[in-house]
């Protein structure tokens, strides 16, 4: 595995105007993904994971009732010629050229990217033609190759079907084929297997891992499922209320979680290897971003909160080796 980062996110901030006032959905997060590496971004629903991925893709739009989108920080992307580009500084047209070519994204629901009235082979070929100067015949050959690569049986004839003629798992494979048709350097996967049953989920995770090795892609894998994290990640960043509260190599995180929130997440999943293991959900729920508590955002739910300190001041980042944690319990 080479050590070159494909993407480095520095102090990313995303503010959204909602009916409840302005919220900081992403409140200054930093991370990097290297070539051939999978970073999992985990956390409860509403933590800011999807907003982070959409900010990187520059796909963030003001939603229903949303008034303004402000994005700050830097998103440094290393392109094929080893030049570094700040995606936040790109003109919309230049960003459009990078999307699907240098960075690609897959979602939970394949129909968000598939066109229901176009044959799947044509869709993949069109994605290739949008970015590469090749003939339509070459593009279609590539489309069929991609369908074969993602494990679709009889790809030449399947290339002529419409998305609704395929099962959910097969549609997911088509979406992956389309995302990877131009061999992007970074793949962002936002809960891509959440809607699939466990057998199909395992197949899709295997597929992503295999293609990642083949193309030495960086993968930012977003999920709330720690079982999936264990299967796919090299490193893990745990997100809570718009911040990364802990980051570590996957084995270290599972063996020695440092942040009380990470410990809570791990204690709230049933462990199949330990019969009789008691599942303890984290008490309470994530606060509304419009009404964040003083001090550490996790403090009202934290069994280990220090009276005074944790309630007053946001914790600093404490780094040790290849991991980091934002928590007063670990401050010297
Ligand atoms: N376009 C938008 N306008 C206003 N608020 C948004 C918008 N998109 C997401 N949010 C809010 O931002 C927060 C983070 O959402 P999201 O990133 O989707 O969380 P998740 O970690 O579950 O992916 C949530 O409180 C959500 O309601
Ligand atoms: Mg999400």
pLDDT digits (tens, 9 = 90+) for 254-273: 999 999 999 999 998 877 56
The pLDDT, as a whole number, for residue 281 is: 84
Closest residue by CA, ligand 1 atom 14: 48
Q: What is the pLDDT of residues 188-243, one digit of tens each?
A: 999 998 888 888 888 889 989 998 998 899 999 999 999 999 999 999 999 999 99
Calculate the alpha carbon distances from 49 to 144, 213, 216, 238, 331 in Å. 33, 24, 23, 10, 26
The domain boundary, picked from 154, 183, 212, lies at 183
Contact 51 CB / ligand 1 (< 6 Å): yes
For residues 281-290, average pLDDT: 90
- Indicate which atom in ligand 1 lies nearest the CA of residue 16: 4
**Ligand 1 centre distance from Cα of residue 5 (Å):** 27
State whether 220 and 253 are in the same domain.
yes
Contact 48 CB / ligand 1 (< 6 Å): yes
Of the candidates 184, 6, 182, the residue with the CA atom closest to the CA atom of residue 83: 6
State whether 189 and 63 are in the same domain.
yes
State whether 92 and 191 are in the same domain.
yes
The domain boundary, picked from 183, 210, 244, lies at 183
Of the candidates 210, 153, 145, the residue with the CA atom closest to the CA atom of residue 178: 145
Tell me the pLDDT of the chain averaged across its residues. Answer: 91
Q: Is residue 224 part of a domain?
A: yes
Name residues with Cβ closer than 5 Å to ligand 2, which is an ion.
Answer: 49-50
Q: What is the CATH number of the domain that holds 224?
A: 3.40.50.300
State whether 52 and 32 are in the same domain.
yes
For residues 282-295, average pLDDT: 91
DSSP string covering 57-105: TT-----TT---EEEEEEEEEE-TTS-EEEGGGS-HHHHHHHBTTTEEE
**Ligand 1 centre distance from Cα of residue 50 (Å):** 7
Ligand nearest to the CA of 23: 1
The pLDDT, as a whole number, for residue 276 is: 64
Q: Is residue 314 part of a domain?
A: no
State whether 98 and 228 are in the same domain.
yes
Strands 317-320 and 323-326: antiparallel
State whether 98 and 191 are in the same domain.
yes
State whether 221 and 279 are in the same domain.
yes
**Ligand 1 centre distance from Cα of residue 112 (Å):** 17
For residue 65, is pLDDT > 60?
Answer: no
Q: Is residue 316 part of a domain?
A: no
Q: Is residue 39 part of a domain?
A: yes
| Strands laid side by side in the 84-86 sheet | 21-34, 5-18, 69-78, 84-86
Q: Is residue 258 part of a domain?
A: yes
* Banded model confidence at residue 9, pLDDT cuts 50, 70, 90: very high
Q: What is the pLDDT of residues 77-105, one digit of tens each?
A: 998 787 999 999 999 999 999 998 999 99
The pLDDT, as a whole number, for residue 17 is: 85
For residue 47, is pLDDT > 80?
Answer: yes
Contact (CB, 8 A) for 205 and 193: yes
Q: Is residue 261 part of a domain?
A: yes
State whether 90 and 190 are in the same domain.
yes
3-state class percentages of the chain: helix first, strand second, coil last, to nearest 5: 35, 25, 40
Domain, as residue range, for 146: 114-183
Contact 289 CB / ligand 1 (< 6 Å): yes
State whether 42 and 131 are in the same domain.
no
Which of the residue ranges 23-27, 80-84, 140-144, 287-291 would you say has the lowest mean pLDDT?
80-84
Contact 63 CB / ligand 1 (< 6 Å): yes
Q: Is residue 79 part of a domain?
A: yes
For residue 274, is pLDDT > 90?
Answer: no
State whether 87 and 208 are in the same domain.
yes
Calculate the alpha carbon distances from 242 to 42, 53, 86, 176, 331 in Å. 12, 12, 21, 28, 21
Helix H or strand E segment including 244: strand 243-249
Contact (CB, 8 A) for 187 and 208: yes
Ligand nearest to the CA of 26: 1
Contact 66 CB / ligand 1 (< 6 Å): yes
The domain boundary, picked from 133, 154, 183, lies at 183
The pLDDT, as a whole number, for residue 19 is: 81
State whether 274 and 210 are in the same domain.
yes
Q: Is residue 140 part of a domain?
A: yes
pTM exceeds 0.85, yes or no: yes
State whether 190 and 85 are in the same domain.
yes
Give the count of domains, the chain.
2
């Amino acid at each position: 595995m080479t050590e070159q980062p494909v993407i480095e996110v520095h102090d990313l901030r995303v503010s959204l105007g909602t009916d409840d006032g302005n919220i900081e959905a992403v409140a200054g997060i930093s991370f990097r993904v290297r070539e051939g590496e999978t970073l999992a971004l985990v956390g409860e629903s509403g933590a800011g994971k999807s907003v982070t991925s959409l900010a990187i893709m520059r796909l963030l739009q003001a939603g229903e009732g949303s008034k303004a989108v402000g994005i700050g920080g830097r998103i440094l992307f290393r392109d094929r010629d080893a030049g570094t580009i700040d995606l936040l500084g790109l003109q919309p047209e230049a960003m459009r050229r990078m999307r699907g070519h240098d960075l690609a994204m897959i979602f939970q629901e394949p129909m968000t990217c598939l066109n229901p009235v176009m044959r799947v082979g044509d869709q993949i070929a069109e994605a290739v033609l949008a970015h590469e100067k090749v003939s339509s015949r070459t593009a279609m050959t590539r489309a069929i190759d991609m369908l074969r690569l993602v494990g679709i049986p009889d790809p030449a004839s399947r290339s002529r079907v419409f998305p609704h003629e395929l099962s959910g798992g097969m549609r997911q494979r088509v979406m992956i084929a389309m995302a990877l048709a131009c061999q992007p350097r970074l793949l962002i996967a936002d809960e891509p297997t959440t809607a699939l049953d466990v057998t199909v989920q395992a197949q899709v995770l295997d597929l992503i891992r295999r293609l990642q090795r083949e193309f030495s892609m960086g993968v930012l894998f977003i999920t709330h499922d720690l079982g999936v994290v264990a299967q796919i990640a090299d490193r893990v960043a745990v997100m809570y209320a718009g911040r990364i509260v802990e980051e570590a190599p996957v084995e270290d995180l599972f063996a020695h979680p440092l942040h009380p929130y990470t410990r809570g997440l791990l204690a709230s999943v049933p462990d199949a290897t330990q019969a009789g293991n008691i599942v303890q959900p984290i008490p309470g729920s994530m606060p509304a971003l419009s009404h964040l508590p003083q001090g550490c955002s996790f403090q009202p739910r934290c069994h280990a909160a220090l009276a005074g300190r944790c309630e007053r001041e946001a914790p600093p980042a404490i780094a040790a080796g290849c991991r980091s944690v934002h928590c007063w319990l670990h401050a010297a």
